[in-house]
Amino acid sequence: MTESHWIEISEKALIHNYQLVKGRAGANCGVLAVVKANAYGLGMEACAKIFEAQGAAMLGVTSFEEASALRKAGLALPILIFGPILAEQAPLAAVMDLTVTVTSPGALDRILEGIAGAEASPLNSLPPLQVHLKIETGMGRFGLWPSEAVPAAQTIAAHPGLKLMGVYTHFATASVSKGPYFQQQRIRFQEALQALSEAGFKDLVRHCANSAALLACRDCCLDMVRIGTLLYGQKPASDSGAMPALQDPWKFQAKVLEIRELPANHGVGYGATYVTKGPTRVAVLPAGYSEGVQMEPVQHPAGFTAGLKATLKLWLRCFKAESQACHVFFEGQAAPVIGKVGMQLTMVDVTHLPQVQVGSLARVPLRRTAADSGIPRIYTD
């Protein structure tokens, strides 16, 4: 290959993971394959086509722009947009046969405004815009309060330009399926479903299980499950016990650009935060934080214990504790990253790996969702 770095995506692994998910969900439960955020970094259009071929019932994205890109790529599956849309996007969503989410009374008003504006033109004849209701049960982002579900459904049912198709919620703590917060969310959602049924809305597609809930709560499968993390070979935190035998479809590869022979007491990288202890062989790789190397989210610790752990982790890193070092791998052999990771370059100590030369191939851990979309993605198998 002429590229100095690329991402290999295994189609076989994606198919294997999809079939595991489908088997756990059951024959009568559809799978909504979540391909938001560029399919968690693996490539949205390509992954969507793989899941479509495997029989996915629906695709899930966060934004109108993502859904539009899938339609332009030729995807024919139903596509659910999780986030609220703008008024001007509503008629376009109808034309593209997208399914939008009503996340609040205000969001519904914007959808109605957009549909009304388009229908005011005598040249426009829109197909009905398909809609799912999102119920707020404890996530705190988007969603109708349970008491707002029936009025919203009635407004949608009364409008010829809208068609109510489904209803869902999102669990905040599905990894702790026996916990009171998770159970409280389940109860709130069931109450909303019951109210909708009693109001005459009996044939809606019901879905609430994400990856963690699929593992922890089989009763949460309902009519469809929304799965992202598991499809991409990553295991969510779960108290469900045994985890499925997932396959990792992701491999970021980079070729060594340069080998440097540094003497003892020589600084490495910005700030000279690392100083060699003896003669050191350094391999320079063509990837840095702009590609996603060593990118981690910043989070506010949830409580004293979590804060203590985060502080200890940072303290160990500051003092170059070996157990905290990031490593890359040459044919399975680990080599530690030394010095600060640069924007597009990373230095690695290969003193103990004399076989590593310019052009040698390294497998580099990468935060997938931070991986630059411009990195070539090669689909194997």
Please tell me the total count of domains within the chain. 2
Report pLDDT digits (tens) over 318-344.
Answer: 554 444 458 999 999 999 999 999 999
Specify the amino acid at residue 197: S
Does a structural domain hold residue 244? no
Q: Provide the mean pLDDT of the chain.
A: 91
Residues 372 and 1 sit within 8 Å (Cβ to Cβ): no
Residue where a domain stops, chosen among 188, 203, 232: 232
pLDDT of residue 119: 67
What distance in Å separates the CA atoms of residue 66 and residue 134, rounded to the nearest whole number?
Answer: 19
Same domain, yes or no: 306 and 183: no
Same domain, yes or no: 28 and 162: yes
Report pLDDT digits (tens) over 141-172.
Answer: 999 999 999 999 999 999 999 999 999 999 99
The yes-or-no answer on residue 340 being catalytic is no
Residues 81 and 100 sit within 8 Å (Cβ to Cβ): yes
Does a structural domain hold residue 98? yes
pLDDT of residue 177: 78
In the set 18, 22, 36, 40, the catalytic residue is 36
Residue where a domain stops, chosen among 163, 197, 232: 232
In the set 235, 270, 309, 313, the catalytic residue is 270
Tell me: pLDDT of 181 over 80: yes
Which CATH number goes with the domain that contains 71? 3.20.20.10
Same domain, yes or no: 155 and 291: no
Residues 220 and 186 sit within 8 Å (Cβ to Cβ): yes
Q: What percent of the chain has pLDDT over 90?
A: 78
pLDDT of residue 241: 63
Does a structural domain hold residue 242? no
16, 157, 235, 328 from 242: Cα distances, Å: 17, 43, 11, 29
Same domain, yes or no: 214 and 110: yes
Q: Any idea what DSSP says for residue 172?
A: S
Same domain, yes or no: 310 and 176: no
Q: Which two tokens stand for residue 72?
A: 């332009």
Same domain, yes or no: 44 and 144: yes
Residue 167, Cβ neighbours under 10 Å: how many? 27
Report pLDDT digits (tens) over 103-115.
Answer: 999 999 999 999 9
The yes-or-no answer on residue 36 being catalytic is yes
Residue 72's domain comprises 10-232
Same domain, yes or no: 207 and 154: yes
